[in-house]
Structure 1
């Protein structure tokens, strides 16, 4: 059975920006995407309850936004790695 061509890393990047966790799913790592979504929600909830109401929206959910930013770069990194491995094997 021939190796299946991986999804272009830029497509994974765009999807990861729009839908948190979906970039990992498209890249073939659904469990990793689910873990990132769980921690986005968890840290968003924690920072929401640790801050005061006079904070900005970004400040209230800073923990979740931080994990979201990490998940975008992580999805792109793994998609790029799979893309390069596929290209080297051909």
Structure 2
């Protein structure tokens, strides 16, 4: 049985790209759903704000979902390490 991926590496992947941490631990569907919702909520908040808002303000919805996905990927990786399950 292959060794589970280091949770800190999964954390790094999740910070760099939405959903990448989930894909790395073998939960590709969950990762792609997170990436889709990051994109969707970024578009929604972009369309509902005015140009005088900052980049963060214009994409706040997507950034919020991305922020939620980061600890989720890390937590799932930690669980896989503690149970000995690989991706």
Category of TM-score, reference length = shorter chain: over 0.9
> TM-score with structure 1 length normalisation?
0.90
Q: Distance in 2 between matches of 1:65 and 1:73?
A: 13
Greater relative contact order: 1 or 2 (C-alpha under 8 angstroms, separation 6 or more)?
2
RMSD: 1.2
Query: How many residues in Structure 1 have an aligned counterpart in Structure 2?
Result: 85
Q: Which residue number corresponds to residue 23 of structure 2?
A: 25
Long gaps (5+) in structure 1: none
2:12 aligns with one of 11, 14, 28? 14
Distance (whole Å) between structure 1 residues aligned to residue 66 and residue 40 of structure 2: 12
**1:71: which partner in 2?**
69
**What residue ranges of structure 2 are gaps of 5+ in the alignment?**
none
